[in-house]
């Protein structure tokens, strides 16, 4: 059963990637997926973890190049998808209704900068 769900998830992710030249999931779409069926929720959780990992990786690349990081997450703190969702919801609350059309990557980045400032 789990193997079938993983195959479906892989198919959805590949289909989404190939069907869009530039694809950014908005906050509204993300929340819709998160509140959808099991497969949609799984896709949303994998997506937000990937966005968070990508931002963290880009941040680490800046540090390696002796450039200032965008945010300063404590080294030993692992952020879960649920925490990323909390950060998204906080960022969306700050923006109000206009947050619905923002890409989750930008919302998450803005909140990571606020939660983990570089002092």
How many independent structural domains does the chain possess?
A: 1
The model carries a pTM of 0.78
Q: Is residue 30 part of a domain?
A: no
Q: Is residue 28 part of a domain?
A: no
Question: Which CATH number is 54's domain given?
Answer: 1.10.890
Supply the range of the domain harboring residue 115: 42-119
Q: What tens digit of pLDDT does each residue of 99-112 get?
A: 999 999 999 999 99
Q: Residue 98 and residue 53: Cα distance in Å, rounded?
A: 25
**Longest CA span, the chain:** 48
Q: Is residue 8 part of a domain?
A: no
Place of tokens 């993300």: 30
| Residue 79 contacts residue 68 (beta carbons within 8 Å) | no
Q: Is residue 84 part of a domain?
A: yes
Q: How confident is the model at residue 119 (pLDDT cuts 50, 70, 90)?
A: confident
Q: What tens digit of pLDDT does each residue of 22-50 get?
A: 568 999 999 999 999 999 999 999 999 99
Q: Is residue 22 part of a domain?
A: no
User: Tokens in use for 55?
Assistant: 């931002």
Q: Is residue 21 part of a domain?
A: no
Q: Is residue 20 part of a domain?
A: no
């Amino acid at each position: 059963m789990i193997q079938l769900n993983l195959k479906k998830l892989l198919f959805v992710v590949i289909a989404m990637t190939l069907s869009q030249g530039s694809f950014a999931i908005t906050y509204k779409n993300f929340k819709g997926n998160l509140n959808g069926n099991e497969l949609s929720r799984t896709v949303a959780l994998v997506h937000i973890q990937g966005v968070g990992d990508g931002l963290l990786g880009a941040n680490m690349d800046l540090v390696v190049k002796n450039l200032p990081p965008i945010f300063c997450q404590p080294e030993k703190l692992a952020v879960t998808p649920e925490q990323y969702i909390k950060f998204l919801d906080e960022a969306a609350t700050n923006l109000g209704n206009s947050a619905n059309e923002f890409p989750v990557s930008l919302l998450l980045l803005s909140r990571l900068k606020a939660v983990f400032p570089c002092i």
